[in-house]
């Protein structure tokens, strides 16, 4: 979870605080908290009133890539970072930011051209690295451990452009390595790819499973975990080396619920465990290295559904363990 469909950023504070894993949330009804705009605005030349328009001159470029100083969202673009930090101390807390590849893909210059070049990827890599440092410096004052998740919905599109030879000088592995280097050493790294994670495969290389071990959030509602034996082996190795799974087993829109939240979770987990087992994924590793989540953020859910999912989340672990045991 990260985005919420609430109308007011103050409302979720009470119910998000009660979670075992509280998090910074974005209110997507607020234009300023769009997942691109809220970070891009930290570049002085970003045209906030337009549709993700940024023209970068040599001075701005040089300042960004040569400066290691932290950058941090202001309250207008990240309300929850300030509303949640009201003197409360958290044993563990999750925050998120957009990954460099998605920033490149989404933002354009004033002529309409995408910023998908080797130089501009490096520019956005530096921007997001400095924002990660800023988040850690700020949030560490209020929590003992911090999970930092990078959201990268456009990664597949960027990879496709590279494979078509449209981005000279930039390689797939360089994108993954640079994205991994955004994480400060002190955080628990997490990564969310909301597209079809099962086909994120390039000549036998699986970026989700063969990069820095992290908590990988995958959508099981749209993309049930039916994978080939080769990928199952990579997933097992990923978990053995310290990687974890956040199983997006709950729908994030109201009309996907014909049964209760807990019944829906149980049904979806049962199907997912069956497919994982049939594919060759080790369920003992899944038990040890997994948490449960919604398939993506809750920006498309009603406030009522968002609140109910948060209320019921204290029962998710019990449902997970019961369903897993019956699936062995």
pLDDT mean by block of 10 residues, the chain; 328 residues: 93 96 96 95 86 93 96 97 96 98 95 93 98 98 97 94 90 94 97 94 92 96 97 98 97 97 98 98 97 95 96 96 95
Predicted pLDDT at 221: 97
The structure's pTM equals: 0.95
Predicted pLDDT at 194: 87
Residue 156: Cβ within 10 Å count: 18
Residue 326: Cβ within 10 Å count: 11
Predicted pLDDT at 49: 72
Predicted pLDDT at 50: 73
Residue 185: Cβ within 10 Å count: 6
Residue 213: Cβ within 10 Å count: 17
Predicted pLDDT at 267: 98
DSSP 157-188: HHHHHHHTT-STT--HHHHHHHHHTTS-TTSE
Predicted pLDDT at 100: 98
**DSSP state, residue 15:** H
Residue 325: Cβ within 10 Å count: 11
**Rounded CA gap, 168 and 171, in Å?**
8
**Rounded CA gap, 54 and 296, in Å?**
28
**At 146, phi and psi to the nearest 5?**
-130, 125
* Helix H or strand E encompassing 93: strand 90-98
Nearest to 103 by CA among 121, 77, 117: 121
**Rounded CA gap, 34 and 2, in Å?**
12
**Rounded CA gap, 185 and 80, in Å?**
24
**DSSP state, residue 53:** B
**Rounded CA gap, 235 and 285, in Å?**
10
Cα-Cα-Cα-Cα dihedral sign, residues 225, 227, 232, 235: negative
Strand partners, 217: 192, 246
What ranges in the chain are assigned the alpha helix state H?
13-17, 37-40, 58-66, 79-83, 100-106, 118-139, 155-163, 172-180, 229-240, 261-279, 283-288, 303-312, 316-327
Enter the tokens of residue 314. Answer: 């204290």
**DSSP state, residue 20:** S
**Rounded CA gap, 106 and 46, in Å?**
13
CB neighbour list of residue 122: distance below 8 Å, 6 or more residues apart: 65, 178
CB neighbour list of residue 307: distance below 8 Å, 6 or more residues apart: 15
Helix (H, G, I), strand (E, B) or coil at 22: coil
Helix (H, G, I), strand (E, B) or coil at 28: coil
Predicted pLDDT at 1: 73
């Amino acid at each position: 979870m990260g985005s919420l469909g609430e109308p007011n950023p103050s409302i979720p504070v009470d119910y998000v605080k009660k979670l075992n894993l509280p998090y910074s949330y974005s209110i997507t009804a607020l234009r300023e908290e769009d997942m691109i705009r809220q970070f891009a605005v930290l570049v002085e030349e970003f045209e906030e009133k337009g549709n993700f328009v940024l023209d970068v001159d040599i001075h701005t470029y040089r300042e960004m890539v040569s400066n290691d100083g932290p950058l941090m969202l202001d309250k207008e673009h990240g309300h929850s970072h300030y509303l949640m930090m009201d003197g409360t101390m958290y044993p563990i807390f999750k925050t998120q930011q957009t990954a460099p590849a998605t920033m490149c893909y989404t933002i354009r210059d004033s002529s309409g051209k995408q910023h998908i070049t080797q130089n501009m990827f490096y520019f956005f890599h530096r921007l997001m690295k400095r924002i990660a440092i800023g988040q850690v410096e700020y949030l560490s004052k209020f929590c003992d451990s911090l999970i930092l998740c990078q959201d990268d919905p456009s990664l597949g599109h960027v990879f496709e452009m590279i494979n078509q030879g449209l981005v000279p000088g930039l390689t797939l592995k360089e994108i993954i390595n640079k994205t991994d280097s955004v994480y400060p050493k002190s955080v628990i790294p997490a990564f969310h790819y909301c597209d079809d994670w099962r086909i994120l495969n390039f000549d036998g290389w699986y970026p989700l499973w063969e990069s820095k071990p992290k908590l990988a959030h995958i959508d099981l509602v749209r993309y049930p975990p039916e994978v080939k034996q080769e990928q199952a082996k990579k997933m097992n190795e990923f978990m053995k080396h310290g990687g974890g799974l956040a199983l997006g087993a709950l729908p994030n829109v109201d009309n996907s619920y014909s049964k209760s939240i807990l019944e829906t979770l149980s049904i979806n987990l049962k199907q997912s465990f069956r497919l994982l087992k049939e594919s060759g994924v080790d369920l003992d590793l899944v038990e040890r290295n997994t948490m449960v989540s919604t398939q993506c953020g809750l920006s498309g859910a009603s406030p009522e559904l968002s609140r109910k999912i948060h209320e019921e989340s204290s029962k998710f672990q019990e449902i997970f363990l019961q369903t897993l045991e019956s699936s062995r």
